[in-house]
Structure 1
Amino acid sequence: MTTQLKFPTEELVPSRYAVRVGDIDVLVISDGVLPLPTQTMSTNASPAARAAWSKEMFLGPDAFDWALNVLVVRSGEQVILVDAGLGGQFPGFPRAGQFPKRLEAAGIALSSVTDIVITHMHMDHIGGLLVDEVKRKLRPDVRIHVAAIEVDFWASPDFTYTDMPAPVPDVLKATAQQFMALYQDNLHTFDDEREVAPGVVAKLTGGHTPGHSVVYVTSGGERLTFAGDALFPVAFEHPEWHNGFEHDPEESVRVRVRLMNEAAASGELFVATHLPFPSVGRVVVEGDAFRWVAAFWDY
C-alpha cells in the first residue's frame, strides 16, 4: 500500500520573520501577494528590455505576484504597526489581506497596537484598517502617524503622471477618503519626520506619493530601513524604470537611488513592501546599478 503525503492547504510556508535591531524587536509579516502586470513595474522601459529582465528573473513575462509586507515594531512599551495591507474588500486579490490572521498567529493582539505608521495611503497599505474585525479590535485611542501632505493630497488626488489600469485611480481615491473619514480623530500628522517611539522614526521622502514616508529603526548602533514603496524588485538592476503607481516618477527615481546609496554605505538591513518575503537584506552598489543581498535566515 502506498501512503500519499498530504500537505496542509493553508500556511504551507512561513508568513512572518523576526529581526532584532539593537534592543528593538521587528517582525515582518506577509499580507499575501498581488497579481499585477509586469508592465506596471516598468512603464518607461521598452517591451524588449522588460521581457529580458523578466526572463532573467524567471518571472512573467506578462504578470507576476508582487509581495505585500507589513511591519510590527516593539520599542519599549509601544507596539507599532507599519502599514496594514490590502484588506479583504477588493475583488480580484484573493491571496492578499492576510495580515490580521497572521498577526494573531504570531501572538500579537490588535488591541496591543499603540501606534500605526502609514507610509502612504494607497489601498494596499491602508485597506487592512477598513476590515470590520480590525476596526473592532483596535484600541479607540490608537495613534495613526502619516505625513500631513499625504492627507492633503488625497482630499483631491492628482493622477496625471501615473499609469495605472483604468479602474484603479477611482478605487484608490475612494479607499483613501474612507480611511480619512473613519480615522480622522486618530490621525497624528507630521511635516518632515516624527519619532513615533524611541528609535523609530517616520521620515517623509515624497516621490511615490507626495507624502510617501519611510521608517527607520535604530538601536545599539544598528539600523533597519522600511522603504515602503520607494522601490520594487526591478529597482536594483533598473532604478530608472518608472512604476505606474508613482505620482511623481522622476522624483521617485531620485528617492530610491538615494535610499539605496544610503543603505549600501551603511550596510544596514533593508526591507520594502513589495520585495519578496521576508524582504530582509542589504543593498550593494554595483557599477551604475545595485545588487540585493538577501539576509541569511537566523533561527
Structure 2
Amino acid sequence: MTGPQGKDLTRRKFLAGGLAATGMGLFGLPRRAAAETTLSLGEHEITVFSDGHLTLPMNFVLPEQSDAEIAALLEPHGLATDALRPDCNITLLRTGDRLVLFDVGSGANFQPTAGELPARLEEAGIAPSDITDVVLTHGHPDHLWGILDDFDDPLYPEASIWVPQAEWDYWLADDTLANMPEERKSFVVGAQGRFEAIADQVSMIRPGQEVLPGVEAVDTSGHTPGHMSYVLHGGGDSVMVVGDAITNAIISFEKPDWPSGSDQDRDKGIATRKALLDRLANDHTRLIGFHFPHPGNGRVDRAGGAYRFVAG
C-alpha cells in the first residue's frame, strides 16, 4: 500500500518544517477526531489526549533498512511503506489538586496535522491556567513546541515546568546549533527559543528523581541526550509514559535493533529501547507510547526473540 504523499516524501522536507496535511488515517481512510481515553491508577486518573498526527518519510524513520526489509515487516500489518503517519498522544495526570501534562505537543508551527491539544483540552473543560505542572520528556518539536501560544508567550502560565537537566543543557549549549546537521537546525532554534521563554517557570529533573508524588523519572537517553521517561505509581500498579524511547508499536517491538533515524544517538537508542522493552515485559508494567495508535496504552509481551505490543 502506498500513502497519498507517494515517493516524493523526503527526509529533508520533513525536517525542514513538516508536510502538508493529508486528512487521511493510517489505512487511507478519513481521520476522525480521537476520543479521550481515561485510565485509573489508584487514586490517580490518567487521560490521554490526541495532539493530531505527523507524517514521517520512511527514509527518515528507517534510513538503514532496504525497501524489501521494510515491506516484509509492514505490509503484513496493512501499513504503508512510503511513510508513517503516527498519532501524537499527550498524557494528563489528575492527582490530588494537580493537573499534570506530560509533553505539550507541536503547537501550530511544526506539521499542519498536529497541534490539536489546546482544542482537546478546551473540549474537556480544561483551561491552560488549570495546568499545574508540565513534565517534558525531551526537546523535539512535537513534544515541546506547544509550550508557547500564537503570540510566543507561555501557554501554561501557572504551571511549574519540569525539564530533564541533561536535555536543557544540551539544547542550550553554545555548540549545539553549529554541530547539528543542516536539516535539523530548526529543531535547535525552536528548542532554544522556547526554553528561553519559559526559563522562569522551569525546574530541573535528574534520573531517579521523584518529580511529583508518585512520578518517577527514568533515564531513557539515546533518542536525545537527556530523554526521560516517567513511571506513574498508584494503587500498587504503575504506568510508564515512554515518550520517544519506544516510537512505534510495530517496528520498535518486532525489530528493536533496527536503527531509528529519529534517534540522535542511534546505537544508544537501540540499547535503551531493548533494555526498556525487557524491563516492561518483566515487570508487566503498562505503558503509554507517544506515537502509538491512539490512545497508545497497553503492555509489552515477549514474542520469540522480540516483543509484541498488546493494546488496552
1:76 maps to 2:93: no
Alpha carbons 2:41, 2:237 under 8 Å: kept: yes
Query: How far did 1:11 drift?
Result: 8.4
Alpha carbons 2:74, 2:81 under 8 Å: kept: yes
Query: How far did 1:137 drift?
Result: 5.2
Aligned to 2:278: 261
- 1:270-296 CA-to-partner distances (Å, cap 9, x unmatched) read 11111111111110011210011111x
Aligned to 1:192: 207
Distance 2:304 2:264 in 1: 28
Alpha carbons 2:149, 2:155 under 8 Å: kept: no
Alpha carbons 2:47, 2:92 under 8 Å: kept: yes
Shift of the 143–193 alpha-carbon distance from structure 1 to 2, 3 Å rule, reads farther
Distance 2:86 2:124 in 1: 23
**Please, what TM-score do these two structures have when normalized by structure 1?**
0.87
Identity of aligned residues (%): 33
Q: Which structure ranks higher in relative contact order (CA pairs < 8 Å, sequence separation ≥ 6)? A: 1
CA RMSD of aligned residues (A): 2.1
> What pairs with 1:124-203 in structure 2 (closer than 5 Å)?
124-132=142-150, 135=153, 138-140=156-158, 142-155=159-172, 156-157=175-176, 167=183, 169-203=184-218
- 1:96-124 CA-to-partner distances (Å, cap 9, x unmatched) read 00000001112222111111111000011
Query: How far did 1:136 drift?
Result: 6.0
Alpha carbons 1:83, 1:116 under 8 Å: kept: yes
Distance 1:51 1:159 in 2: 36
Shift of the 42–159 alpha-carbon distance from structure 1 to 2, 3 Å rule, reads farther
Distance 2:151 2:196 in 1: 18
Aligned to 1:109: 127
Distance 1:215 1:191 in 2: 11
One-letter identity of the residue aligned with 1:262: R
- 1:20-53 CA-to-partner distances (Å, cap 9, x unmatched) read 1111111111100101112322222222101222
Choose 185-194 or 252-261, whichever is displaced more.
185-194
Aligned to 1:6: none
Alpha carbons 1:103, 1:109 under 8 Å: kept: yes
1:42 maps to 2:62: yes
Alpha carbons 2:148, 2:154 under 8 Å: kept: no
> What pairs with 1:229-268 in structure 2 (closer than 5 Å)?
229-233=244-248, 234-268=251-285
Aligned to 1:5: none
Query: How far did 1:194 drift?
Result: 2.9
One-letter identity of the residue aligned with 1:105: E
SS where residue 46 of structure 2 aligns? strand
Shift of the 107–194 alpha-carbon distance from structure 1 to 2, 3 Å rule, reads farther
Distance 1:242 1:257 in 2: 12
SS where residue 185 of structure 1 aligns? helix
One-letter identity of the residue aligned with 2:261: G
Query: How far did 1:135 drift?
Result: 4.1
Q: How many residues in Structure 1 have an aligned counterpart in Structure 2? A: 279
Query: How far did 1:196 drift?
Result: 2.6
Query: How far did 1:159 drift?
Result: 9.2
Query: How far did 1:191 drift?
Result: 2.5
